[in-house]
Chain A
């Protein structure tokens, strides 16, 4: 069966360090993969999209990699800040049109001051 796993439910790191979150999937061939941020009591907010033919994507302090051989995406936040504390969700699209966006269960990141 198809499955998306995010490496841990919770991750604590010290301010200033790089946070690395993992998203692994099985039995999918996604056209692209996305990362979202969700704060408590709010809806998910889109951060980055990476296509199957892209190895890496960056946006400010965020970097996403996508390895279709390993079936894995890594999400990095460099120079992390307490304001980065949130739940981060990866999402896969298997249709190429966002019509079947399937989400992982998320990793709750806490950046300690």
Chain B
């Protein structure tokens, strides 16, 4: 069983479109995260949710909206996509330090 699964693995879309990435974890963790990894491999936190409540929102454009329907799911919706949004987006969950990451969703905006 995959601990943290995210879909889709690849997304190719045009500028201005809206897209969503879904994430689910079966580890029973209360806290889930979205990270963005750019072309230089720098992994940066975007959002953190604890038990469906937003606890960290780093400097991210409000075109990015996370949604957590329950503590096992944290989805990422992106409106009006821009070229600079092209990156790999990782979902993660964790308790007491160790993070478990999904396999990533590579978003390419043309």
Contacts and interface: CB of A to CB of B under 8 A. Distances in A.
B100 A46 contact: yes
Interface stretch (B12-20, B35-43, B63-71, B79-87): B35-43
Interface residues of B, number: 26
B101 A45 contact: yes
A38 B90 CA distance: 12
B97 interface: yes
Given A99-B50, A100-B45, A43 B101 contact: yes
A111 interface: no
Given A45-B101, A98-B31, A103 B42 contact: yes
Given A99-B31, A103-B42, A42 B103 contact: yes
Contacts of A45: 101
Interface of A: 32, 34, 36, 38, 41-46, 49, 87, 89, 91, 93, 97-103, 105-106
Given A93-B97, A98-B94, A99-B56, 13 more contacts: A34-B99, A36-B99, A42-B103, A43-B101, A43-B103, A44-B99, A49-B97, A91-B99, A98-B95, A98-B96, A100-B48, A105-B41, A105-B42
